[in-house]
């Protein structure tokens, strides 16, 4: 069964490169971003960000919101100086964008086309786990933020085929080699870079940020099996790395 699953995922990853398959896939897949959630969930996410640092008078960038622009609309309504969205695909039409007052940028996933030290605040919500080149993006956010600027990231560390903390297979994707996992997922939206909490902290610190972990979510099902050494592929990780399923971090660019 395991080999059948691997072959199936490799085939899907290969086929998604073709435009006709991409078109078919877009018709059956859910839309990206928070728009599939309730208005209450959107407001809750905004409040999570805003409670850390007030948006009033701030120049803000949101990375990878997909179809959802409502968080940035709320930021403008609450007094943000400016709001920019950057994504690798143009999810919103020109008419929608024009009505929002938000600057919309489509870029290649590496260099973000904004000037150095022009932002006060950067947001992302369950986006960073999908980054193909996380080190580059983190260094870009450091470049764009003013001294004292803040970035807030909610990062989901789970296998995106098993989004369930109560399932001991929620980190199932960690069992594969990097080469095999890329063959299975690199071209697809379910790709995740599989970085653990310690690695996210290290990458941000290496870029020059001060890091505060504001909240973590743990998997009790994985913790139990990890301590009993019943999940072989997790034993190479520390317990914190092995059982942490989601993190909400605040990173700050030093004043000097």
- How does pLDDT run across 123-167, given as a tens digit for each residue? 999 999 999 999 999 999 999 999 999 999 999 999 999 999 999
In the DSSP assignment, the letter for residue 254 is -
Mean pLDDT of 191-220: 98
Residue 227 φ then ψ, to 5°: -65, -30
Taking residue 25's Cβ as centre, other Cβ atoms within 10 Å add up to 14
Pick the CATH number of 2-218+246-252 from 3.40.50.150, 3.30.750.24, 3.40.449.10, 3.40.1160.10: 3.40.50.150
- Give 225's pLDDT tier (boundaries 50, 70, 90): very high
Q: Distance between CA 218 and CA 144 in Å, rounded?
A: 32
Please state whether beta strands 119-125 and 210-218 pair in parallel, antiparallel, or not at all (unpaired): unpaired
Which pTM value belongs to this model? Answer: 0.93
């Amino acid at each position: 069964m395991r080999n059948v699953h691997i072959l199936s995922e490799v085939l899907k990853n290969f086929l998604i490169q073709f435009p006709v398959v991409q078109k078919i896939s877009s018709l059956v897949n859910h839309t990206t971003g928070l728009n599939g959630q309730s208005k209450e969930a959107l407001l809750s996410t905004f409040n999570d960000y805003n409670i850390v640092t007030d948006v009033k008078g701030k120049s803000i960038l949101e990375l990878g919101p997909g179809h959802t622009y409502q968080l940035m609309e709320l930021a403008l309504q609450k007094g943000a100086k400016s709001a920019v969205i950057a994504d690798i695909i143009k999810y919103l039409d020109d008419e929608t964008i024009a009505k929002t007052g938000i600057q919309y940028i489509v870029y290649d996933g590496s260099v973000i086309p904004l000037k150095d030290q022009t932002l006060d605040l950067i947001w992302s919500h369950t986006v960073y786990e999908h980054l193909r080149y996380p080190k580059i993006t983190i260094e870009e956010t450091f470049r764009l933020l003013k001294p004292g600027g803040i970035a807030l990231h909610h990062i989901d560390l789970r296998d995106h085929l098993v989004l369930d903390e109560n399932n001991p297979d929620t980190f199932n994707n960690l069992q594969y080699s990097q080469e095999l996992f890329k063959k299975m997922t690199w071209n697809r939206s379910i790709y995740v870079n599989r970085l653990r909490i310690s690695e996210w902290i290290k990458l941000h610190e290496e870029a020059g940020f001060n890091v505060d972990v504001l909240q973590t979510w743990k998997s009790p099902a994985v913790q139990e099996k990890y301590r009993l050494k019943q999940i072989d592929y997790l034993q190479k990780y520390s317990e914190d790395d092995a059982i942490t399923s989601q993190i909400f971090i605040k990173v700050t660019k030093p004043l000097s």
